[in-house]
């Protein structure tokens, strides 16, 4: 019986045309460029002028598909990681599948907030090994701007909109996925809540909820700076790898200060931790695939090079997870 591995075959991304610098936010709320940069490292972000999550995901997918000219009929799986779907039904992934005419693909959305893309890759690589078709499409896509209270500078300055896509390929004699470390702590879930809806029916009083994203930034900051270094160390142990052999660490782009702290705790140079938060802000589940694609486009990471990379994310749930990958 032939044994197949799963590799990262192609990547793509898409962000709205509309870039919003910190200076523009000062016209909308009481904030400043200095205040935002000092606390987050963010200079600008991209905000949708009407494109919804499925629109961004479709365009990111086409970018990935066009780079390798893949036969769409050979895609067997589409997973969209998102916390900002167009609707509860149909799913964003169903809309992507329809737009691409990926008629042989099953499709579903995955909700794990900012950890969604890591969770999605983990699920897709396992499912793909048992499917008839050789390709899977994993997308992280968000229109975070529609979840925000734009009068709340604690949250609204942090986020941006965008989508990133990765195409996985099942093939013999190759393997990208070495080890993983995935976690959830639902008892801390109240630290980040978004899209909350009231129960509405004739048997209960209507409790109006606005659904805006609310976050205990300090609690999440403390949680992440303790949990992510441990998760990275654990995935290296599982993969029998030494930290000095990791070429690059790609962490969820939530806050530059978090990444700097993780770098220090792991005693690795900050140059090994790729960052683009300055130009995108926190795009939730889209941040890692956007960063991965950008790093491949600029030549820092090379497909089929054998480079060792760590992908690590954290977010609402609370969820966190790390993948050790040979790219």
Q: Tens digit of pLDDT for each residue in 179-200? A: 999 999 999 999 999 999 888 8
CA distance 262 to 283: 20
DSSP string, 182-241: EEE-GGGGGGEE-S-----STTS---------EE-HHHHHHHHHHHHHHHHHHHHHHTT-
- Distance set, CA 77 to CA 93, 108, 136, 166, 177 (Å): 10, 9, 5, 12, 18
Mean pLDDT of 279-308: 98
Active site residues: 114, 252, 282
∠ Cα 140 225 14 (to 5°): 20
Q: Which tens digit of pLDDT belongs to each residue from 36-50?
A: 999 999 999 999 999
Residue 265 near residue 229 (C-beta atoms within 8 A): yes
Q: 4-172 with 177-326: one CATH topology? A: yes
Q: Which tens digit of pLDDT belongs to each residue from 10-25?
A: 999 999 999 999 999 9
Mean pLDDT of 252-266: 98
3-state class of 130 per DSSP?
Answer: coil
Which residues is 8 bridged to in the sheet?
168
The pLDDT assigned to 198 comes to: 86
The structural domains of the chain, with segments of one domain joined by +, span: 4-172, 177-326
Which residues is 168 bridged to in the sheet?
8, 136
Tell the residue number behind the tokens 């200095």, with chain if given: 34
> What count of residues does the chain have?
327
The pLDDT assigned to 206 comes to: 75
- 207 pLDDT exceeds 80? no
> Please, what is the average pLDDT of the chain?
96
What's the DSSP call for residue 113? G
The pLDDT assigned to 293 comes to: 98
The pLDDT assigned to 210 comes to: 84
Which residues, at least 6 apart from 115, have a Cβ–Cβ distance to it below 8 Å? 252, 285, 313, 314, 315, 317, 319, 320, 321
CATH architecture of the region 4-172: 3-Layer(aba) Sandwich (3.40)
Mean pLDDT of 54-73: 96
The pLDDT assigned to 53 comes to: 98
3-state class of 95 per DSSP?
Answer: helix
CA distance 193 to 183: 18
Q: Which tens digit of pLDDT belongs to each residue from 301-312?
A: 999 999 999 999
The pLDDT assigned to 127 comes to: 98
Q: Sorting pLDDT into bands at 50, 70 and 90, what band is 2?
A: low
Q: Which CATH superfamily is domain 177-326 in?
A: Thiolase/Chalcone synthase (3.40.47.10)
């Amino acid at each position: 019986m032939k044994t197949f591995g799963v590799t990262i075959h192609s990547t793509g991304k898409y962000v709205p045309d509309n870039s919003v610098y910190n200076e523009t936010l000062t016209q909308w709320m009481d904030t400043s460029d200095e205040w935002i940069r000092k606390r987050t490292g963010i200079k600008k972000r991209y905000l949708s002028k009407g494109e919804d999550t499925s629109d961004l995901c479709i365009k990111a997918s086409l970018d990935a598909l066009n780079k390798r000219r893949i036969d769409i009929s050979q895609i067997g799986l589409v997973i969209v990681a998102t916390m900002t779907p167009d609707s509860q039904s149909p799913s964003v992934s169903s809309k992507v599948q329809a737009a691409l005419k990926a008629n042989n693909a099953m499709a579903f959305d995955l909700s794990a907030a900012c950890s969604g893309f890591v969770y999605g890759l983990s699920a897709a690589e396992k499912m793909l090994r048992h499917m008839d078709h050789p390709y899977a499409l994993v997308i992280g896509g968000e229109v975070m701007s529609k979840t925000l209270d734009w009068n709340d500078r604690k949250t609204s300055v942090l986020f941006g909109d965008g989508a990133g896509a990765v195409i996985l390929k099942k093939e013999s004699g190759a393997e990208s996925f070495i080890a993983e470390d995935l976690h959830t702590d639902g008892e801390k879930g109240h630290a980040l809540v978004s899209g909350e809806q009231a129960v509405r029916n004739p048997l209960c009083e209507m409790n109006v909820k606005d659904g805006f994203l609310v976050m205990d930034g300090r609690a999440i900051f403390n949680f992440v700076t303790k949990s992510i270094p441990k998760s990275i160390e654990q995935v290296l142990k599982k993969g029998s790898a030494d930290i000095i052999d990791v070429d690059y660490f790609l962490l969820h782009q939530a806050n530059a200060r978090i990444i700097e702290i993780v770098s220090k705790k792991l005693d690795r140079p900050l140059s090994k931790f790729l960052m683009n938060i300055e130009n995108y802000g926190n795009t939730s589940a889209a941040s890692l695939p956007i960063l991965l694609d950008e790093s491949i486009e600029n030549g820092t990471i090379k497909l089929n090079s054998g480079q060792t990379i760590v992908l690590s994310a954290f977010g609402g749930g609370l969820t966190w997870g790390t993948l050790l990958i040979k790219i």
